[in-house]
Structure 1
């Protein structure tokens, strides 16, 4: 019985030393904009998307979800994030593509929908209050 507990403990130890579940580096993100700001005009309706430069590792994607909530993701692709390859918006406004690897990510949850990427885009916290959108990590 001791042998089983020893193997279980070793298995837990090795599984906790695996790859990081979020390979995109942590950088401070903390900004706010009024929703009436002309730069956010693309967010007026559900499904709207805005790409912002100067935040995160490679910029930030703001997505107005069809249910009325908002999501924010770093534009840095999770495939080889050390390259800081910024994803670009696809014409359907439902996905973004890493132009360096061809990986595609869903704006619904940031998850990869086409490889070689296997990790989601880094997401940020979004709060909307008094016609202001706040994004932070």
Structure 2
């Protein structure tokens, strides 16, 4: 009978010993500052979720008047950034920075800024202009009907 108790005790302690490194590994990925490690995990998961949301369609994002000409407006709940590079020309991208997954910020300075590590993206095509981000923001299809901007 003690052999069974020992087996159970050893099995339980083995599970705990295995669980601790797994938790530690998960924690280190969430706070990793290594750009190579961050870029290999973030871009593959975030743009896909943005694309999946775009498939739902019809989600009201903002009014055209809210998006500054030569700037951008972030819609945090939808994780979308709307841009208006020139008057009447609206574009949309994932608001999730491709460097480490921070949300970019609303701006009227001619670029899409990321507050976490100073990456900057183009209003025209979401491509990186500067900073540690090297991949563009994923495009999001939108429809502009009068003053209403919705996800296509």
TM range (shorter): 0.5 to 0.7
Bigger Rg, structure 1 or 2: 2
1:87 lines up with 2:104 in the alignment: yes
Identify the residue that residue 42 of structure 1 maps to in structure 2: 66
TM-score (norm 1): 0.61
Q: Distance in 1 between matches of 2:62 and 2:47?
A: 28
The 5 Å alignment of 1:1-137 reads 23=44, 24-27=46-49, 28-29=53-54, 30=57, 31-32=59-60, 35=63, 40-43=64-67, 46-55=69-78, 59-66=79-86, 68-80=88-100, 84-90=101-107, 92=109, 94-136=110-152
Count, aligned residues: 105
| 1:89 counterpart SS class | coil
TM-score (norm 2): 0.56
| 2:48 counterpart SS class | coil
- Superposition RMSD in Å: 2.7
- Greater share of helix residues, 1 or 2? 2
Identify the residue that residue 20 of structure 2 maps to in structure 1: none
Deviation string, structure 1 residues 96-132 (Cα, Å, up to 9, x no partner): 2222222111112111011311100111012223543
Question: Any unmatched runs of 5+ in structure 1?
Answer: 1-18
Question: Any unmatched runs of 5+ in structure 2?
Answer: 1-39
